[in-house]
Amino acid sequence: MNAPHPPKVAGIDSTVPAPAHTVAPVSAAPGTSPVDPPHSADPPHSPYAAGAMIQDRLAGWVSDLTTLHELTERLARTDGLDAALKELLRAGAALVGARRGLAVLEPDDGLGPATTIGLGLARADLGHMETVPRSAMPYGALLDTAAGLPGGAGEVVHSDLFTEDGLHPRHREVAARLGYAASYALPLSTESAGRLGAAVWLYDEPAAPTDRRRHLAGLYVRYATEHLARLLDVERTRACMATIAEGLLPSRLPRVPGVQLAARHRSGPRGGGDWYDALPLPDAAVGLAVGSVTGSGPCAVAAMGRLRASLRAYAVMEGEDPVAVLSDLELLLRLTEPARCATALFAYCEPVLRRVTLAGAGHSPPLLVGERRTEFVETSVSAPLGMLSCWEAPSVEFQAEAGETVLLYTDGLLHRTGDSVDRAFARLHAAAASVPRTLRRDPGAVADHVLRTVLPDGLDATNGAEDVALVAARFD
């Protein structure tokens, strides 16, 4: 088979490196495709030569379809915008024969998110490119004009940045500094998705992709744009759910003499019902609460907001009796949302006396962290709210020493470890016991140390499906 095929890179055939530039197409006889030269050993008009040409052409089509299939399969396995943009750049570089590139995500509707991802370009390189007037860059020509819209010109080709007329001098200067001599840009736009951004590939030497490479790259980029549009919708939904969940939680913690407060919270990718609260109460007391509503998504977030608002009302009226607060909350949940369960822990703190009275409903026990002890507070076993026909459990009272910190947390902290319950509790205890002495005066630093130690990937790990809420109260 004599037809030249694009190099199979980006996971198709890792042994063949992507070339730095594209070789000019082989000249073809009249009536033949430039990528399908006739069989040199036979007369150009013989039946055998025609059959060989057809075979070569079919083989080329099969190779192209196989290449596109494997590349689109790799792209479909990405589940985040950054990962998808990186895969788009890698695959596109293999298709057009380039080595470096950048993708600019800038949805036309202005709702974001906006980002720039580079392939073979450091952050400083991208910064140098930003010094070029936007209109002089290939992505600017696609994003700011009708050329990048569906049905527009569709591509920007600079085959030689140092000899072409009309290019901005700063563009040539940056190209020389970064070591690229040509570029090929395509819009990330389709009729259904609209214009999402642009992708630019950079050549080390003057070059331009052949018609065949342009065709393959165009097909791939159209599919990639549809995939990016789906991921964009998911990302926006997650961001919206996280914003709503954060808006339902306290925007600031109260300042009460005798106690310092800190809180940390992250929602899972689907949005969940974990929450926390801290509110000042009469007689210089403070109420602390954490809880979790079953389920995920908008319904769970809305139920969390209703439950937290109700608990605040009950805490103001009878906060000195945590059992009464949770009993009222359980009755409300059973009457208004009988199909839903929730766990909750409410603590009535008297900072002057350093005394804490708490009650829990199916919730993990608090952790007391101090210079001389790190231990879980012994609480009675109780069922979650809404699980039984009538919830009831005794309260627990304990005394904190000066300088000790009480940690209240939701079960998501334990679940994110991926360990069994016993191992997760042991991991949490070890993390609290290892807090450096220099950090123990700051409850926020204590909370951050515990989270970093228990969750090495941090709260922002993309695979963290569980919500996490943590409240730290340090007594003076």
pLDDT, tens digit, 9 for 90 and up, residues 310-360: 999 999 998 899 999 999 999 888 888 888 888 999 999 999 999 999 999
CATH number of 47-239: 3.30.450.40
Distance from C-alpha of 21 to C-alpha of 336, rounded to nearest angstrom = 67
pLDDT for the residue numbered 223: 94
Residue 123 predicted with pLDDT over 90: yes
Read off the pLDDT band of 245 (50, 70, 90).
confident
pTM, two decimals, is 0.67
Residue 23 DSSP one-character state: P
| pLDDT value of position 240 | 81
pLDDT level of residue 281 (50, 70, 90 thresholds): very high
pLDDT confidence bin for 57, thresholds 50/70/90? confident
The confidence score (pLDDT) of residue 432 equals: 92
Report the C-alpha gap between 195 and 188 in whole angstroms: 6
* Assigned superfamily of 249-475: PPM-type phosphatase domain (3.60.40.10)
Q: Could you tell me the residue ranges of all domains in the chain?
A: 47-239, 249-475
The proportion of the chain whose per-residue pLDDT surpasses 90, expressed as a percent, equals 52
Q: Looking at this protein, which amino acid is placed at residue 269? A: P
CA distance 255 to 286: 9
Top pLDDT among 112 and 472 is at 472
**Cβ partners under 8 Å of residue 379, min gap 6:** 358, 360, 365, 366, 396
Predicted confidence at residue 5, as pLDDT, reads 42
